[in-house]
Structure 1
Amino acid sequence: MEIVQKAVAGTLESSDIMIRVSPSDELDIVINSTVEAQFGDEILKTVKEILSKLNIDKIKILIDDKGALDCVLRARLITALIRSTKDQTLWEKIQ
């Protein structure tokens, strides 16, 4: 799957997460989190799992986490990916 444009999902409110994605020539994931020491590895694992399922290996992802639950991270990332690929069937592909 190809990332064709920049996209954003989420907010910077407490317990939420803002994810920005853009096209790239490589996989580049940057995580800024208020709970990075405790959950940074889990955030990265979840992101890589979703990207792997969708065969995305060329993308830049900027994550600003304010303590979001895993389900929120997943929803925000998938939303940003849908917006960046314009593929409305992505929800079905990730199941």
Structure 2
Amino acid sequence: MELKVVASAGTLESSDIQIIIEPSENGIAIELESTVKAQFGDQIENVITETLKSLNVESVKVFVNDKGAIDPVIKSRVQTAVYRSAECNDYKWM
């Protein structure tokens, strides 16, 4: 999927995650801030990466501010940000 604009999804509320993505030319780059980074940082990055790959996004810069979100919330926020960035209204939720 081709990303066109900077887009975001999510909030900074407890148990949520804010995802901001922007188009890039240099593969997938993730900048993660999280209240649980020491315990779950690798898992959060894996969920984000796998969700991006499932949407055929190969080049993107992702800014993440996590407040303890669970995997399904992370996945849905990434999907929403990608669809917004691609300016796509044909949602194929997984």
TM-score scaled by length of structure 1: 0.91
Match of 2:60 in 1: 59
1 or 2, which has the higher helix percentage?
A: 1
Distance in 2 (CA, whole Å) between partners of 1:91 and 1:12 is 26
Deviations along 1:38-90, one digit per CA (max 9) or x if unpaired, are 11111111111111112211111000000011111111111111100012334
Q: For residue 30 of structure 1, what is the amino acid of its counterpart?
A: E
Q: Secondary structure at the match of 1:86?
A: coil
The 3 A distance-change label for structure 1 pair 29 and 90 is farther
Q: Secondary structure at the match of 1:63?
A: strand
Confirm whether residue 4 of structure 1 aligns to residue 4 of structure 2: yes
Contiguous gaps of at least 5 residues in structure 2: none
Q: Secondary structure at the match of 1:91?
A: coil
Match of 2:50 in 1: 49
- Residue identity over aligned pairs, in percent, reads 44
Match of 2:69 in 1: 68
Contiguous gaps of at least 5 residues in structure 1: none
Supply the RMSD in Å over aligned alpha carbons.
1.1
User: Is residue 28–residue 59 contact of structure 1 (8 Å, CA) maintained in 2?
Assistant: yes
Distance in 1 (CA, whole Å) between partners of 2:77 and 2:55 is 15
Distance in 1 (CA, whole Å) between partners of 2:90 and 2:44 is 24
Distance in 2 (CA, whole Å) between partners of 1:88 and 1:53 is 17
| Pairs aligned (count) | 93
